[in-house]
């Protein structure tokens, strides 16, 4: 029996079938088809529609109108039936049915190992399957012996704080900014937006049906994060405008001695049992050291430190960098500046997505909010569309005859499609096409979304310089040919210190600092989370966890948060003082990461970017499919850790 609220909602939904039909006609047919199959158990339409579903994106679907009309009629009948019989919505489909539904949803076979992940990602029963629950009663006295410090309140730190609160574990969050949001708080440059659709790039335990865009701009994302923060009611646990400066492990007390700096420069200590870093991979701007920078007379700022007091109207602007941020900034500012000179060190691949600037219509928002399970099935489609569907094309084929420019047949096909797109956008300007075509295979750098980047390059007031900046003068930037490009303003879209996670925090474990272990650019961790000789220390969005082939950093963070919660549960239920990951699993895991990367595009000789350190090792990206990383982090094996018992005090 459904709750009276649910029955009422269903009754009002079907009260006017004609209106409902009009509304359903505005929705994507595939999530609707999955809803119908799920609620009715009837797979006939699923099989009949399947040949028309070529991919997971809505624009890859061509279900004929008559089938769509039949689908809508059946959805209405089914919803009416639920309302009249006051039946509760069904639980998740059994695994065999789920498999058939997933295959149809994305127009290809989804490997069976995805099914557990899909079930927990979609949370059909309304509970968060990733939440970690105590296996035995743990007293408040025991809990009070533990105190966790979370560094940072971006997407990762916020998820961690929510889960710690849920479990009743004492914790404090220290955030250097004056607000929540991390990346989305700090990056306010014109055009800032996600390149992962937000119906997936959001917490699985707090989905949102009201997104205005499929690919939200910064302010919309920060609004969502602020809402989640407010609902979580973390007030007393969070200290804004304070920065963690150092954390030193005290072996005898089994505590981290942390130093925290307030905004006014004063510092204070805090002793905690465990530290979870949510300090972000892309948080500390990487500012290049270019001769003459200090001599430049006009404003010069990094994309993540945008100076909104500078009016760019009519100005001569030099933009350094054409990565993810640069590709969003250029098209956003080109129409208003006098001249935009873009310095490109190496080009990027970028894909068109018809939904990039599209607004979510009120009709679709209504469907997401009101049609049972519609949001969930839509989320699955996006999850697959933006990530693992593409990974096989990033694997090197040892017998491939054109290894310089592509990896395998599918990768070549993508390359040709991308080149054709660029040619079209550049209006056939072959000289410009040669400048913007990467020599390395597609996905060697993160695949970007073409938000009018190529068209922007064809504007009369835009010049692309395929060189790095040799030096700055008081009035401009000089390229490697010695040509000076006059500038009133310089924008550094030069990325972040991604190869030095935790920078500049001084973290000292049982045997030296994290920099002693990692050097400048070789961070390694077990599952991206724990490091031997750093007991009770956990990293979110750590080494080798960035989704290079796509996916959502939020998904990965949720995996790491769960793993950390499993670890803390083990620590606390044992009433142990500390836990330290053993060398063997750590080394073995990193060997596997490196071996997997050797097969993938990011170790292609032509690929040089922030994913690889100076020795060529890929240190930022995860080589794993989402489901594999989920499986690795969904269980905690205590045998992989050394536990120190708590000291008995008299
Ligand atoms: C412009 C841009 C666009 C992006 N788009 C996407 C996308 O479309 N899809 C995707 O998957 N990923 C994207 N990313 C990656 C993005 O960083 C992650 O998706 C996600 O926001 C990371 O969240 P986080 O909480 O791990 O880190 P962050 O958001 O970086 O948050 C870290 C927080 O820690 C705080 N902090 C750091 N050091 C300290 C300290 N010592 N003491 C106290 N506080 C500290 C920071 O102030 C910050 O609030 C994008 C990144 C950028 C820069």
Q: How many CA atoms lie within 13 A of 230 on its CB side?
A: 6
Cα(105) to centroid(ligand 1), Å: 31
* Mean confidence (pLDDT) of the chain: 94
Q: State the pTM of this model.
A: 0.96
Encode burial over 227-262: b for 16+ CB neighbours within 10 A, e otherwise. Answer: ebbeebebeebbeeebbbebbebeeeebbbebbbbe
Closest Cα to atom 25 of ligand 1: 154
Burial class (CB in 10 A: 0-12, 13-18, 19+), 188: middle
Q: Look-up: residue for tokens 């889960």? A: 163
Angle between helices 17-24 and 65-85 (to 10 degrees): 130
Question: Distance (Å, rounded) from C-alpha 375 to C-alpha 385?
Answer: 15
pLDDT value of residue 394: 85
Reported as a single tens digit per residue, the pLDDT across 16-39 is 888 999 999 999 999 999 999 999
Reported as a single tens digit per residue, the pLDDT across 249-269 is 999 999 999 999 999 999 999
CB 459 within 8 A of CB 342: no
pLDDT value of residue 446: 81
Is 309's pLDDT higher than 90? yes
Angle between helices 218-232 and 155-167 (to 10 degrees): 10
Task: State the closest ligand 1 atom to the C-alpha of 183, by its place in the atom list counted from 1.
Answer: 29
Which tops the pLDDT comparison, 267 or 3?
Answer: 267
Is 650's pLDDT higher than 60? no
> Residue 634: which of 131, 135, 209 has the closest Cα?
131
Is 63's pLDDT higher than 80? yes
Cα(154) to centroid(ligand 1), Å: 6
Reported as a single tens digit per residue, the pLDDT across 437-467 is 999 998 888 889 999 999 999 999 999 999 9
Is 329's pLDDT higher than 90? yes
Using pLDDT thresholds of 50, 70 and 90, give the confidence band for residue 421: very high
CB 163 within 8 A of CB 561: yes
C-beta atoms surrounding 391 within 10 Å: 20
What value does the mean pLDDT take over residues 387-392?
Answer: 79
Structure tokens at 350: 């970028």
What value does the mean pLDDT take over residues 288-293?
Answer: 97
Is 230's pLDDT higher than 60? yes
Is 592's pLDDT higher than 70? yes
Q: DSSP letter string over 373-386?
A: THHHHHHHHHHHHT
Is 412's pLDDT higher than 90? yes
pLDDT value of residue 649: 60
Using pLDDT thresholds of 50, 70 and 90, give the confidence band for residue 386: confident
Reported as a single tens digit per residue, the pLDDT across 106-128 is 999 999 999 999 999 999 988 89
SS (H, E, C) 561-620: HHHHHHHHHHHHHCCEEEEEECHHHHHHHHHHHHHHHHCEHHHCCCCCCCCECCCCCECC
Identify the bridge partners of residue 229 per DSSP, sorted by sequence position: none
C-beta atoms surrounding 556 within 10 Å: 24
pLDDT value of residue 36: 98
Task: Name which of 152-161, 189-198, 592-601 the model is least confident about.
Answer: 592-601
pLDDT value of residue 382: 92
Using pLDDT thresholds of 50, 70 and 90, give the confidence band for residue 648: low
Reported as a single tens digit per residue, the pLDDT across 176-223 is 999 999 999 999 999 999 999 999 999 999 999 999 999 999 999 999
> Residue 318: which of 429, 173, 445, 470 has the closest Cα?
470
Using pLDDT thresholds of 50, 70 and 90, give the confidence band for residue 393: confident
What value does the mean pLDDT take over residues 145-152?
Answer: 98
Which tops the pLDDT comparison, 619 or 392?
Answer: 619
> In 3-state terms, the chain is what percent helix, strand and coil (to 5)?
40, 15, 45
pLDDT value of residue 235: 87
Using pLDDT thresholds of 50, 70 and 90, give the confidence band for residue 371: very high
Q: DSSP letter string over 280-305?
A: -SS-SB-----TTGGG--S-EEEGGG
Using pLDDT thresholds of 50, 70 and 90, give the confidence band for residue 66: very high
Cα(420) to centroid(ligand 1), Å: 34
Cα(281) to centroid(ligand 1), Å: 6
Q: How many CA atoms lie within 13 A of 449 on its CB side?
A: 21
Cα(179) to centroid(ligand 1), Å: 13
Closest Cα to atom 48 of ligand 1: 182
CB 538 within 8 A of CB 529: yes
**Ligand 1 neighbours (beta carbon < 6 A):** 151-157, 174-177, 182-183, 187, 192, 194-196, 201, 243-244, 278-280, 282-283, 324-325, 505, 540-541, 547, 552-553, 557
Contacts of 4 (CB under 8 A, 6+ apart): none
pLDDT value of residue 2: 67
CB 569 within 8 A of CB 170: no
What value does the mean pLDDT take over residues 137-147?
Answer: 96
* Strand duo 537-539 + 274-277: pairing: parallel
Identify the bridge partners of residue 174 per DSSP, sorted by sequence position: 151, 239
* Test site for ligand 1: of 188, 191, 263, 279, most ligand atoms within 8 A of the Cβ: 279
What value does the mean pLDDT take over residues 424-433?
Answer: 96
Give Rg (Cα) of the chain.
26
Is 544's pLDDT higher than 70? yes
Distance of CA 379 to the CA centre of its chain: 14
CB 42 within 8 A of CB 36: yes
What long-range pairs does 592-595 form, CB within 8 A, spacing at least 24?
A: 593/544, 593/622, 593/623, 594/618
Cα(639) to centroid(ligand 1), Å: 32
Helices within 86-143 (DSSP H only): 95-106, 115-122, 140-143
Using pLDDT thresholds of 50, 70 and 90, give the confidence band for residue 389: confident
Could you give the percent of the chain with pLDDT greater than 70?
A: 99
Contacts of 309 (CB under 8 A, 6+ apart): none
């Amino acid at each position: 029996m459904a709750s009276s609220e649910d029955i009422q909602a269903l009754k009002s939904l079907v009260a006017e079938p004609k209106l409902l039909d009009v509304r359903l006609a505005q929705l994507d047919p595939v999530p609707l088809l999955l809803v119908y199959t799920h609620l009715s158990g009837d797979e006939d339409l699923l099989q009949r529609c399947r040949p028309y579903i070529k991919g997971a994106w809505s624009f890859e679907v061509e279900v004929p109108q008559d089938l769509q009309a039949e689908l809508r009629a059946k959805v209405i009948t089914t919803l009416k039936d639920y309302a009249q019989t006051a039946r509760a919505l069904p639980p998740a489909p059994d695994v065999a049915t789920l498999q058939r539904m997933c295959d149809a949803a994305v127009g290809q076979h989804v490997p069976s190992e995805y099914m557990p992940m899909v079930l927990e990602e979609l949370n059909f029963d309304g509970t968060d399957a990733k939440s970690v629950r105590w296996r035995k009663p743990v007293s408040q006295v025991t809990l009070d012996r533990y105190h966790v410090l979370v560094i940072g309140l971006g997407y990762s730190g916020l998820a961690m704080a929510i889960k710690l609160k849920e479990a009743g574990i004492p914790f404090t969050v220290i955030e250097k900014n004056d607000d929540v949001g991390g990346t989305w708080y700090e990056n306010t440059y014109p055009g800032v937006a996600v390149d992962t659709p937000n119906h997936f790039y959001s917490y699985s335990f707090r989905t949102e049906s009201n997104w205005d865009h499929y690919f939200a701009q910064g302010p919309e994302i920060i609004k969502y994060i602020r809402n989640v923060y407010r609902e979580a009611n973390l007030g007393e646990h969070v200290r804004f405008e304070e920065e963690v400066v150092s954390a030193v492990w005290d072996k005898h007390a089994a505590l981290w001695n942390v130093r925290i700096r307030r905004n006014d420069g004063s510092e204070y200590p805090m002793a905690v049992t465990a530290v979870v870093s949510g300090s972000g991979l892309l948080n500390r701007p990487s500012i290049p050291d270019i001769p003459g920078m200090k001599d430049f007379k006009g404003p010069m700022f990094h994309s993540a430190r945008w100076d909104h007091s500078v009016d760019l109207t009519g100005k001569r602007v030099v933009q350094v960098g054409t990565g993810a941020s640069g590709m969003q900034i250029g098209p956003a500012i080109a129409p208003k500046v006098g001249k935009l000179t873009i310095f490109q060190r190496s080009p990027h691949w970028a894909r068109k997505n018809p939904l990039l600037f599209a607004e979510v219509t009120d009709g679709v928002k209504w469907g997401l909010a009101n049609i049972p399970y519609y949001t969930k099935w839509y989320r699955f489609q996006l999850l697959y569309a933006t990530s693992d569907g593409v990974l096989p094309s990033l694997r090197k084929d040892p017998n491939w005859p054109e290894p310089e420019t592509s990896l395998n047949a599918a990768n070549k096909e993508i390359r040709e499609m991308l080149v054709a797109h660029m040619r079209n956008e550049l209006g056939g300007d072959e000289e410009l096409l040669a400048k913007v075509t990467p020599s390395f295979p597609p996905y060697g750098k993160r695949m970007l979304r073409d938000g009018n980047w190529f068209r922007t390059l064809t504007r009369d007031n835009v010049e692309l310089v395929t060189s790095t900046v040799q030096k700055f003068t008081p009035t401009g930037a000089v390229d490697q040919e010695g040509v000076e490009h006059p500038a009133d303003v310089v924008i550094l879209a030069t990325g972040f210190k991604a190869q030095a996670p935790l920078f500049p925090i001084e973290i000292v474990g049982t045997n030296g600092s994290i920099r002693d272990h990692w050097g400048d650019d070789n961070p390694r961790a077990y599952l991206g989370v724990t490091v031997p000789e750093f007991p009770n220390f956990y990293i979110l969005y750590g080494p080798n966890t960035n989704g290079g082939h796509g996916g959502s950093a939020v998904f990965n963070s949720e995996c790491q948060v769960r793993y950390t919660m499993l670890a803390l549960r083990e620590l606390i239920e044992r009433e142990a003082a500390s836990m330290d990951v053993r060398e063997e699993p750590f080394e073995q895991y990193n060997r596997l990461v490196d071996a997997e990367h050797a097969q993938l595009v990011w170790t292609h000789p032509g690929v040089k970017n922030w994913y690889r350190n100076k020795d060529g090792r890929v240190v930022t990206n995860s080589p794993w499919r989402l489901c594999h990383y989920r499986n690795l982090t969904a269980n905690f094996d205590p045998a992989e850790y050394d536990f120190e018992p708590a000291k008995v005090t008299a």
